[in-house]
Structure 1
Amino acid sequence: MFNEKNWKKRDYSALRIFFLISFMTGTLNSAKMACAIGEIGMGIMTWLNLIAVFLLRKPILLSLKDFEAQKAVGEDPIFNPTSN
């Protein structure tokens, strides 16, 4: 999906410019601002993960139920994505 053949020259240039701006911003601002930006990033990632878990709750609960049933029988749990 993200191999080098799919990337174009403009994609690399955009990425380089983004990192250059990020590094310059990091060196010119205080540590307090860098921590604040980091906390904002962690908050965004947390919310995205919570949304993903909410959307995947049915398959997660089915997998957990299957795992617990296999453990109750005394088997070594094996994940089979096609089983119900």
Structure 2
Amino acid sequence: MDEPTSAQDLGQQHHLLQLVRQLSHESQFSIVAILHDLNQATRYADKIWLLNQGKMFAQGSPQAILTPDTVSAVWGYVAEKLITQAGNNVLI
């Protein structure tokens, strides 16, 4: 899926990603999705393959890959990692 949430409002984005994740787990399907929203990738992905200029930069769990250090190395932005009350990691 190439940016499946790009034309959706916020509620629909989360509903779609929750549904895809649920169907994937129930049916034991693998889903490959391109997401530019790092927080959505962190929240809904089981594994991350991070590309930098078309080459594999890192792969693994979202919590291990999408860190402030990685964001800084790939995008040149110093992010701050927060943890929500629900336990979700958020990069700002």
Q: TM-score, normalised to structure 1's length?
A: 0.26
| Greater helix fraction, Structure 1 or Structure 2 | 1
Relative contact order, higher structure (CA 8 A, sep 6+): 2
Q: TM-score, normalised to structure 2's length?
A: 0.24
| Greater strand fraction, Structure 1 or Structure 2 | 2
